[in-house]
Amino acid sequence: MRTPDPSQLPWGSSYRIAASDKWKAKSAAMGREVTAALVDYARPRPGMKVLDLASGTGEPAISLAKAVGPTGHVTALDLSTDLLETAAGRARQRGLTNFSTQKADAHELLFPDQSFDLVTSRFGVMFFHDPVKALREAHRVLKPEARACFLAWGPFEQPFWSSMWGAVHKFAGGSPTPPEQNPCKFASPGSLSKVLHDAGFAQIAEETKTLPWTWPGKAEEVWELTSEVSTPFLPMLQRIAADRRAEVNREVIRAVQQYADGENIKFGAVVVFASGVKI
């Protein structure tokens, strides 16, 4: 496996879409338990109107659409048209007629006040450039007594991040990632709760859980996907000289293989759930 040279590649959405599409089945399998946990946490009911922020290729929006049934509706929102086209295609394949997409910025939602019964986001809130502003918008479009439910990464010191991000950082040096691209931004207990509070939510709850996060394949595969799709890696990879890329790859693969179990890579995921109610 050869990790591409990021200085020589178009790191726009079309390239990331191609990488995502290549590994979509295995990526979906890796995230299945986490998605199901967020859906359970959000407690969707038949007939609900749901807004899923930073939906990407469609989860948990698709799972939520199944849960709310034909009398409900789910809107998947993202900044990327390409990602939303993938999400819409996946929804069509599943015969979902209560699913739509909206290209928009979470900081400036294009919906009237009190439009939704539930707002969700899986691994999106960490990348909002102004989380309080984005969550105020979520608060605005929710109906009274409705909930917003978020899932964020826990601490960096867990296998998925330390094996790859940590190994790359040893070669790159400097700051691991810009603050706005830090996937572990809300790892500190109470930090996401504070954002919810500042955005106007009440009855705030937060908890940290460890869930299955298993790649059904080889270490080389999950590193290929992560290095091509995960934006936080880009600044570090760009700082590494081309003649050291092979060495970096070997170091990462060794680190990831620590978690191999048969034909799977069993990382596990430490994640943060947080929710608030609009009063």
Domain residue extents for the chain: 6-277
Per DSSP, the three-state class of 75 is: strand
Say what the pLDDT of residue 210 is.
98
Q: Which residue has the tokens 């007594």?
A: 145
Nearest residue to 208 via CA among 180, 189, 227: 189
The packing angle between helices 219-229 and 24-42, to 10°, is: 70
Q: Measured between alpha carbons, how far is 145 from 213 in angstroms, rounded to an integer?
A: 33
Q: How far apart are CA 53 and CA 83, in angstroms?
A: 13
Q: Cβ neighbours of residue 71 under 8 Å, at least 6 residues apart? A: 46, 47, 98
Residue 12 has pLDDT above 50, yes or no: no
Question: Is the per-residue pLDDT at 18 higher than 70?
Answer: no
**pLDDT tens figures, 39-94:** 999 999 999 999 999 999 899 999 999 999 999 999 999 999 988 999 999 999 99
Residue pair 219/266 in contact (Cβ under 8 Å)? The answer is: no
pLDDT at 258 over 50: yes
Q: What local confidence, expressed as pLDDT, does residue 178 receive?
A: 72
Q: pLDDT at position 16, please?
A: 55
CB 220 within 8 A of CB 154: no
Weakest-pLDDT range from 21-35, 49-63, 69-83, 119-133: 21-35
pLDDT above 90 covers a percentage of the chain that reads: 75
**Residue 101: pLDDT band with limits 50, 70, 90:** very high
CATH homologous superfamily of domain 6-277?
Answer: Vaccinia Virus protein VP39 (3.40.50.150)
CA–CA separation, 29 vs 16, rounded Å?
19
- The encoded tokens of residue 44 equal 């969707």
Computed over every residue of the chain, the mean pLDDT equals: 90
Question: Which pLDDT value is given to residue 105?
Answer: 96
Q: Using CA atoms, how far apart are residues 96 and 66, in angstroms rounded to an integer?
A: 8
Q: Above 70 in pLDDT, residue 10? A: no
Distance (Å) of CA 193 to CA 52, 64, 105, 140, 162: 19, 23, 22, 18, 25
d(C-alpha 190, C-alpha 206), whole Å: 7
Q: What is the pLDDT of residue 2?
A: 38
**179-210 pLDDT per residue, tens:** 777 899 999 999 999 999 999 999 999 999 99
Q: Is residue 4 over pLDDT 70?
A: no
Angle at 27 between CA 131 and CA 109, to 5 degrees: 30
Q: Is the pLDDT of residue 126 over 90?
A: yes
155-171 burial string, b = 16+ CB within 10 Å, else e?
Answer: ebebbbbbbbbbbbbeb
